[in-house]
Copies of this chain bind each other. A is one copy, B any other.
Amino acid sequence: MSKQEKSQLKNNFMGASTKQGHEIAVESRKIVKSLIDHKISNLRPEERSIVERIVHSTADPEYAELIKMSSDFVFKSLESIKNNEDILTDINMVKTGINNYSGEIKCYINHYETKELARKEEITRAAAAIQIAASEGFEGVVVIGNSPTALFEVIKLKKNNQLRAKSVIGVPVGFVAASEAKEALEKTDIPYLITKGPKGGTPVAVAAINSLINKGK
C-alpha cells in the first residue's frame, strides 16, 4: 500500500475501513470522475467532491445535473462542522448513515413529544420533529433526506428566526411536494444544497454530509 492509500484508509476514504473496501472505493471514484467530471468542471474542488461522492453512492450520474448548491453552502457548512455543532436529520436512516462525526447528530422523529405534537397540530411527524428541535435550541447543519413537510417547516422556522440552521442539505424525495419544497429552499437566503426535481433521498443526503465531515477534519 502506498503512503497515500494508508492515509486514505486511516481516514475511512468514502466510508471504507478495510483494504478491500478501499480498493473498491478508489476504483469506483475513478469511474465516477470519468463519467461526470466534464459536467462539473465549473464547480470548486470541495463542491466537485460532494457531487462525486453522491454519484458514487447512488451509481446514478444524473445527479451531476440535478445537484445545486448556493455559493456559500460549503463555507457555512464547514464552519458549523468544524465547530462540532449539532447536525439535525429528518429521519433515522439519515442519522444512521452519518460516519465519524465528533459532534451530536439529532433526530426527533420517534420521540414521544413529536408524536403528540403531530397529532395535536394535525401535521406530519417529520414536521413536528423539526419544531421540537427548534424549541430545544438546535444550532447547526440540517439534513433533510426524505420529507418535504420537514423541509417546509425548516424554511418557515428559519424565516421566523426560530431555527438556527447554518445550512440545509434539502434533498427530500418523491412525486408529491418534494420539488416544491426544494424550490422554496432555493428562494431563501439559507445556504443550501438541493436536487432539482423529484429525485433525492437518504443516500444523497448521507453522501453530502459525510463528504463535508471528511473535508472538515
Contacts and interface: CB of A to CB of B under 8 A. Distances in A.
Interface stretch (A40-48, A67-75, A115-123, A161-169): A115-123
A97 interface: yes
Nearest to A32: B175
Q: How large is the interface on A (under 10, 10 to 19, 20 to 34, 35 or more residues)?
A: 35 or more
B59 A173 contact: yes
Interface string A175-189: 111100000000000
Copies in the complex: 2
A56 B178 CA distance: 12
Contacts of A177: 24
Contacts of A201: 57-59, 203
B203 A125 contact: no
Contacts of A17: 125
A178 B124 CA distance: 36
Given A59-B200, A93-B97, A201-B203, A149 B32 contact: no
Contacts of A173: 57-59, 203
Interface in A1-55: 16-21, 24, 27-28, 31-32
Interface in A196-214: 197-203, 206
Given A93-B96, A123-B20, A60 B199 contact: yes
A84 interface: no
Contacts of A119: 18
Most buried by B among A125, A197, A202: A202
Contact of A31 (B92, B93, B176): B176
The 7 closest A-B CB pairs, nearest first, are: A59-B198, A31-B175, A96-B96, A28-B176, A21-B124, A93-B97, A20-B124
